[in-house]
Amino acid sequence: MKLVKLLANLGYGSRKQVTFMFREGRITDDQGAVLYADDQIEHARIRVDQQPLDPPLGLTIMLHKPIGYTCSTSDHGQIIYDLLPPRFRLRSPILASVGRLDKDTSGLLLMTDDGKLLQRIVHPKSHLSKMYEATLARDLVGNEADIFASGTLMLESERTPLAPARMEAINSRSAKLMLTEGRYHQVRRMFAAVSNHVETLHRSRVGGLALGDLPIGEWRALEEQDLKILFE
């Protein structure tokens, strides 16, 4: 790909603006030699104003989403893109969230610009489990794990029952829930179906990939190894 297109796709500006940046000599290699729009050079050696280039296309990240942020590219309030470098919103293809977390849910959110990978993660055949931790408004009564595991629970306005899900009580007012599907507001609706109410909800794991000690509001790029772990 021509350098000018690469930089435009990474959100450094329109093609016209990027062409101008080349003319100004702002695009160099790692030794400071000025680069031109048609040059072919390894991504890692390119500098813009002496700074290394953003990660190449084919980027997948994990974000520790805080409460209060919407998984959307435009909203009146705070959105997940506010937590990323501003240029990331201008990348083409865009870094899209893999599924969604509610505004009031925190935790592990994957984002990728790789459409095939996104489809693979969300495809039901991938059976990627998601682990949630919920705190509840009322004490667990004891039959919730059996109801969720039954594979017969019907949520309001759904046509098919939920797939079996595994629940483990942490204490009387909190539980871990492992889901293999991602229906709208699923965890909140599941607890509502057993006459409870989710007060806080956090996702700690997707597939084999855990949030680990990634601080709230921060993100990191995933490596090959992370993607392997994700599908384990």
Binding site for ligand URA (CB under 6 A): 101-102, 105, 185-188, 201
The distance of closest approach from Cβ of residue 171 to ligand URA in the complex, given in angstroms and rounded to an integer, is: 20
* Contact (Cβ atoms closer than 8 angstroms) between residue 106 and residue 164: no
Shortest Cβ 70–ligand URA spacing (Å) = 11
Q: Please confirm, yes or no, whether 102 is among the known catalytic residues.
A: yes
Element at 7 (helix H, strand E) = helix 3-9
Distance CA 11, CA 199 (A): 38
Q: How many CA atoms lie within 13 A of 78 on its CB side?
A: 13
Catalytic residue among 102, 104, 139, 146: 102
d(CA 218, CA 143): 37
What DSSP line would sit under 134-197, residue for residue? EEESS---S-HHHHHHSS----TT-SSPPPP-EEEEEETTEEEEEESS--TTHHHHHHHHTT--
Which residue carries 């890692």 as its tokens?
44
Q: How far apart are the C-alpha atoms of 28 and 229, rounded to whole Å?
A: 36
Query: Least distance from C-beta 179 to ligand URA, angstroms?
Result: 7
Nearer to ligand URA, 101 or 110 (CB): 101
Nearer Cβ to ligand URA, position 3 or 201? Answer: 201
**Shortest distance in whole angstroms from residue 216 CB to ligand URA:** 16
Cβ distance to ligand URA smaller for residue 201 or 227 = 201
Least distance (Å) from ligand URA to the CB of residue 198? 7
6 or 177: CB nearest ligand URA: 177
Nearest to 46 by CA among 96, 79, 4: 4
Nearer to ligand URA, 29 or 102 (CB): 102
Q: Catalytic residues, which ones?
A: 102
